Each structure stands twice: as structure tokens, then as C-alpha cells.
């Protein structure tokens, strides 16, 4: 958790900088190229920033667990992470934190329905994908 405030501060500043506006402009790649924005450069930047965030998160998580086995990162763990990000809203830093804050304690609240946990997350993910705005 120690790196999260710093990482959030960095990402918030990145989104509101010129590079962040260029990344948003890449949703219309041809128009961005006409404005002089290099799509390749900014796609590589986005990939590098996301890889660095994944690296830090994985390193902190590995340190927290002390031992990692292949069962640690099964498909259902990946579904939970994607659901957390989509729950808060696509493209929202605060929304991803909200999604994690709401969905992390949810398995503990639904311990009675432990056998249906994966079914619940799958249904929630499908509902989020169907009903979320396309923006």
C-alpha cells in the first residue's frame, strides 16, 4: 500500500498533462495524427506506464503474500481485478479505487454463498459490460 498514493498522484498528473490529453486523442487515431500526435509514440508510452504499474502492484502483492504459487493468479483472480476496474467506470482513476473498495470486502460479506462467488462475479462482469457506457 505504500506505493499506491505515489502511483495515484503520478497517474492523476499524467492524465491531466499534455501527454494525457494526447492519449485521450488517440481514441480517434487518424484525427490525432493530423494534429501532429505520434500514435506509435503514445501507444508505447501507455504500454510502458501500464507495465510499470503492473510491475509495482505485482511486486507489492508478492511481498504481501510472501509466497506465490500458480494457484495465486488463477482465472478467477483476473476476473475479480477486471470487475473491480469496470465497476468504478472505464477511464476513471477514482472509480477503480471505488470498485476495489466495494468489491474487495464482498466475498467476506457473501461467505454463505461461497460456492456461487465465481458465478456472482461473472454475472456482475457481464452486467457491467452490457450496461456500461461505451465512451
DSSP string, 36-53: T--HHHHHHHHHHHHHHH
Q: Alpha-carbon distance 90 to 100, whole Å?
A: 13
Residue 87: Cβ within 10 Å count: 20
Burial of 96 (0-12, 13-18, 19+ CB in 10 A): buried
pLDDT in tens, the chain (135 residues): 455 777 777 877 787 888 888 888 888 888 888 888 888 998 998 899 889 888 988 888 888 888 888 888 888 788 777 777 777 777 777 777 788 888 888 777 777 777 777 787 778 778 877 887 664
Would you state the pLDDT for residue 3?
A: 59
Would you state the pLDDT for residue 11?
A: 78
Would you state the pLDDT for residue 134?
A: 61
User: pTM of the entire structure?
Assistant: 0.67
Amino acid at each position: 500500500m505504500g506505493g499506491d498514493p505515489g502511483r495515484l498522484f503520478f497517474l492523476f498528473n499524467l492524465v491531466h498533462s499534455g501527454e494525457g490529453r494526447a492519449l485521450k486523442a488517440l481514441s480517434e487515431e487518424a484525427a490525432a495524427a493530423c494534429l501532429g500526435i505520434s500514435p506509435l509514440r503514445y501507444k508505447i508510452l501507455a504500454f510502458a506506464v501500464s507495465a510499470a504499474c503492473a510491475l509495482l502492484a505485482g511486486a507489492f502483492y508478492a511481498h504481501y503474500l510472501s509466497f506465490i504459487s500458480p494457484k495465486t493468479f488463477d482465472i478467477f483472480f483476473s476476473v475479480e481485478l477486471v470487475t473491480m476496474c469496470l465497476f468504478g467506470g472505464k477511464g476513471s482513476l477514482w472509480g477503480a479505487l471505488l470498485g476495489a473498495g466495494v468489491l474487495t470486502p464482498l466475498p467476506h460479506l457473501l461467505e454463505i454463498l461461497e460456492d456461487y462467488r465465481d458465478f456472482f462475479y461473472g454475472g456482475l462482469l457481464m452486467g457491467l459490460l452490457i450496461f456500461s457506457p461505451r465512451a
